[in-house]
């Protein structure tokens, strides 16, 4: 049932079993999952059912680090959250993404892929991608083109494209008549009431832009407000502890990361790769324009054994056609003997005149977690009186080292496999500005086994509390290269099971 605070429908108080804060991807997933479990649920959402500039302005903040999107443009603050404009790229994380690796300081989760894997299939259903594996070999027979399975050191990673599912449009209906779920719209959580010990959250305090207040009491609380806002809300809860809630060790807001991208070289493709339509489906626009049913995007990476042997981060590389003639001419000047080069690679004649031969490699890689990259509070206040966000996004020095190393190794293996030749512009591998392939806000309430290294435990519970949980990519301890939303949903489903078990045991 929906109640809109700006229409005077805010209850004076509300008591439930589970209070979920934020009706975005994570919050809606958990509410959907728990709504038929005999629990009373409140789903508290800052916005309404459409964008309202006054509500969206609550996301305004300051960027003081590397150039980044305005903070009110890289997320959306109404029912459905940022799914109202996400791109729909999905892929589970890889096993290696959960592991501690010495060459990536601070890497590693306290859980493994096995803890999350059971939830990926249901997560795929929720974003309307089919339940088939993200496995290149699975798709190769259908592709009827020469999928390059025989290249031992170079592997193909598959992304699947959601329609993209808008959680407002697809899942509002689940709550229209659901008596077990009270959805409070235009209701902002601004603080938590804690027990005397400071360990138990007793109520979430709610404030509206019209100046009305209420509180929701519950036995379990889930903060699901997105990768930046989860940290900002905890930092703003300063009544009991000036440093914020869950922040005894000054870790809330640290380790902010996005997925970074680099232009990792210009490539001349060998015949076989050039002919493979499988690898030409690299951007969703091309897939859709071609009217294909399959919504997959293949990209290259290196075999896991090479990532380990060469101490590389996990990454993927797309092969993109150089879009205009001017750039193609530029590529020609880089390759004075281009025809000889391609012939050398493949030992076959050149491609038919007029075919596209010049390509750019775009690499997305996992950044090294950096404690100095952080969400902090600024000096200015929003219309609710909360201190606005100040984001200081910084890459780790390790990122440049690893990006250079992986570019060299990938290019070497690409050539050895006979896929083509890559020209690396060493001076420009490392850009000052991100390629903006992300807008994935991760790491600010990272998962850890010890409170000394993170904010939430392996069940997403804030270490310093008994009953406050965090959902979303803020819990990611290291980041992989896959877009985060499928894993956000899988973790939200896992958290739902955990809460259900806890409530039934109580
Ligand atoms: C342009 C763009 C493209 C993207 N493309 C992709 C992609 O292709 N693949 C992918 O995996 N990811 C993509 N993402 C990221 C994806 O959108 C997010 O990972 C996902 O939406 C995060 O889900 P969430 O539930 O954690 O947060 P959100 O979906 O942002 O939801 C947070 C909710 O909390 C509410 N809220 C905030 N503060 C409060 C408060 N104080 N009280 C109550 N409610 C509050 C907000 O209104 C919002 O509804 C993209 C993002 C952008 C911006």
H-helix segments, 46-134: 53-56, 113-116, 120-126
The answer to whether 301 and 317 are in contact (CB under 8 A) is yes
Q: Please, which contacts does 151-154 make with residues 24 or more away whose CB atoms are closer than 8 Å?
A: 151/417, 151/419, 152/303, 153/302, 153/303, 153/306, 153/413, 153/416, 153/417, 154/300, 154/301, 154/302, 154/303, 154/413, 154/414, 154/417, 154/419
DSSP-derived secondary structure letter, 462: B
Radius of gyration (C-alpha) of the chain in whole angstroms:
24
Residues contacting 463, CB < 8 A, separation 6+:
246, 448, 451, 454, 455, 456, 457
Mean pLDDT of 389-410: 93
SS3 308: helix
Mean pLDDT of 464-482: 97
Tokens matching residue 112: 């493994």
Domain ranges of the chain: 1-125+166-258+370-395+441-506, 128-161+260-365+396-436
- Note the pLDDT of residue 436: 60
258 in contact with ligand 1, CB cutoff 6 A: no
Best-predicted range by mean pLDDT (283-287, 323-327, 490-494) = 490-494
Residues contacting 333, CB < 8 A, separation 6+:
none
480 in contact with ligand 1, CB cutoff 6 A: no
SS3 per residue for 381-439: ECCCCCEEEEEECCCCHHHHHHHHHHHHHHHHHHHHCCCEEEECCHHHCCCCCCCCCCC
- Note the pLDDT of residue 293: 53
The answer to whether 363 and 262 are in contact (CB under 8 A) is yes
Q: Residues 426-448: pLDDT tens digits?
A: 776 676 555 666 889 999 999 99
420 in contact with ligand 1, CB cutoff 6 A: no
474 in contact with ligand 1, CB cutoff 6 A: no
147 in contact with ligand 1, CB cutoff 6 A: no
Q: What is the mean pLDDT of the chain?
A: 87
- Note the pLDDT of residue 326: 38
Query: What whole-number distance in Å separates Cα of residue 93 and Cα of residue 120?
Result: 10
For strand 213-217 and strand 13-15, is the pairing parallel, antiparallel, or unpaired? parallel
Helix H or strand E segment including 486: helix 485-505
The residue behind tokens 């109640």 is 3
Per the model's pLDDT, the better-predicted residue between 274 and 326 turns out to be 274
Q: Residues 43-84: pLDDT tens digits?
A: 999 999 999 999 999 999 999 998 888 999 999 999 999 999
Confidence of residue 419 (pLDDT cuts 50, 70, 90): confident
For strand 18-21 and strand 181-185, is the pairing parallel, antiparallel, or unpaired? unpaired
Confidence of residue 130 (pLDDT cuts 50, 70, 90): confident
- Note the pLDDT of residue 430: 72
> What atom of ligand 1 comes closest to residue 75's alpha carbon?
53
Mean pLDDT of 356-363: 74
Kindly give the distance from the C-alpha atom of residue 206 to the centroid of ligand 1, in angstroms, as a whole number.
Answer: 20
Burial class from Cβ neighbours inside 10 Å (0-12, 13-18, 19+) for residue 452 reads exposed
Kindly give the distance from the C-alpha atom of residue 73 to the centroid of ligand 1, in angstroms, as a whole number.
Answer: 11
163 in contact with ligand 1, CB cutoff 6 A: no
Q: Give this prediction's pTM.
A: 0.93
Q: Residues 20-34: pLDDT tens digits?
A: 999 999 999 999 999
H-helix segments, 71-150: 113-116, 120-126, 136-143
**CA-CA distances (angstroms) from residue 441 to 222, 256, 342, 392?**
18, 7, 41, 12
Q: Please check the confidence at residue 330 and state whether its pLDDT lies above 70.
A: no
Q: Which amino acid residue places its CA nearest to atom 50 of ligand 1?
A: 86
Q: Please check the confidence at residue 243 and state whether its pLDDT lies above 70.
A: yes
Query: Using CA atoms in the order 92, 485, 223, 230, what is the torsion angle rounded to 10 degrees?
Result: 110
Mutation to probe ligand 1, out of 2, 22, 80, 382 (largest number of atoms < 8 A from CB): 22
Residues contacting 392, CB < 8 A, separation 6+:
64, 65, 256, 372, 373, 374, 376
Q: Which amino acid residue places its CA nearest to atom 27 of ligand 1?
A: 226
> What atom of ligand 1 comes closest to residue 233's alpha carbon?
41
Q: Residues 164-191: pLDDT tens digits?
A: 999 999 999 999 999 999 999 999 999 9
44 in contact with ligand 1, CB cutoff 6 A: yes
75 in contact with ligand 1, CB cutoff 6 A: yes
Q: Residues 265-308: pLDDT tens digits?
A: 888 887 777 777 666 655 555 555 555 555 778 889 999 999 99
438 in contact with ligand 1, CB cutoff 6 A: no
484 in contact with ligand 1, CB cutoff 6 A: yes
- Note the pLDDT of residue 292: 53
Q: Does the domain made of 1-125+166-258+370-395+441-506 have the CATH classification 3.30.360.10? A: no
């Amino acid at each position: 049932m929906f109640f809109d605070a700006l229409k005077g429908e805010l209850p004076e108080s509300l008591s439930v079993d589970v209070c979920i804060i934020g009706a975005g991807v994570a919050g809606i997933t958990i509410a959907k999952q728990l709504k038929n479990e005999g629990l009373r649920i409140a789903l508290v959402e800052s916005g309404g059912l459409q964008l309202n500039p006054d509500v969206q302005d609550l996301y305004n903040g300051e960027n003081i680090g590397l150039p980044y999107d305005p903070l009110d443009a890289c997320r959306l603050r109404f029912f459905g959250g940022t799914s109202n404009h996400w791109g729909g790229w999905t892929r589970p994380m890889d096993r290696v993404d959960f592991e501690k690796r010495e060459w990536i300081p601070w890497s590693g989760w306290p859980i493994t892929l096995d803890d999350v894997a059971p939830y990926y299939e249901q997560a795929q259903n929720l974003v309307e991608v089919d339940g088939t594996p993200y496995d290149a070999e699975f798709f190769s027979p259908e592709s009827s083109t020469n999928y390059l399975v025989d290249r031992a050191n170079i592997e193909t990673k598959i992304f699947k494209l959601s329609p993209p599912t808008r959680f407002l449009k697809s899942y509002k209906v689940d709550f229209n008549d659901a008596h077990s779920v009270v959805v409070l719209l235009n209701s902002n959580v601004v603080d938590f009431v804690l027990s005397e010990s400071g360990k138990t959250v007793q109520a979430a305090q709610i404030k509206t832009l019209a100046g009305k207040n209420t509180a929701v009491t519950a036995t379990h609380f889930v903060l699901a407000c997105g990768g930046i806002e989860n940290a900002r809300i905890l930092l703003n809860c300063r009544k009991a502890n000036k440093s914020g809630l869950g922040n005894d060790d000054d870790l809330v807001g640290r380790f902010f990361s996005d997925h970074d991208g680099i232009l990792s070289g210009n490539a001349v493709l060998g015949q076989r790769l050039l002919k493979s339509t499988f690898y030409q489906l690299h951007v969703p626009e091309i897939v859709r324009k071609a009217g294909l049913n399959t919504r997959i995007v293949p990209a290259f990476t290196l075999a896991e054994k090479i990532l380990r042997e060469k101490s590389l981060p996990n990454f993927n590389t797309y092969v993109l056609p150089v879009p205009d003639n001017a750039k193609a001419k530029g590529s020609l000047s880089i390759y004075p003997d281009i025809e000889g080069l391609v012939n050398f690679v493949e030992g076959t004649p050149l491609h038919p005149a007029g075919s596209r031969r010049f390509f750019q490699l775009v690499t997305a890689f996992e950044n090294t977690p950096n404690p100095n990259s952080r969400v902090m509070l600024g000096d200015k206040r929003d219309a609710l009186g909360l201190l606005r966000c100040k984001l200081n996004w910084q890459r780790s020095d390790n990122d440049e080292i690893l990006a250079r190393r992986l570019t060299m190794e990938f290019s070497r293996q690409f050539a050895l496999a006979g896929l083509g030749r890559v020209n690396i512009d060493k001076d420009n591998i490392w850009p000052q500005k991100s390629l903006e392939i992300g807008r994935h806000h991760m790491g600010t309430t990272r998962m850890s086994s010890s409170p000394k290294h993170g904010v939430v435990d392996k069940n997403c519970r804030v270490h310093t509390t008994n009953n406050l949980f965090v959902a979303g990519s803020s819990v990611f301890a290291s980041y992989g290269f896959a877009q985060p939303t499928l894993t956000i949903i899988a973790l939200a489903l896992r958290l739902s099971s955990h809460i259900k078990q806890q409530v039934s045991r109580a």
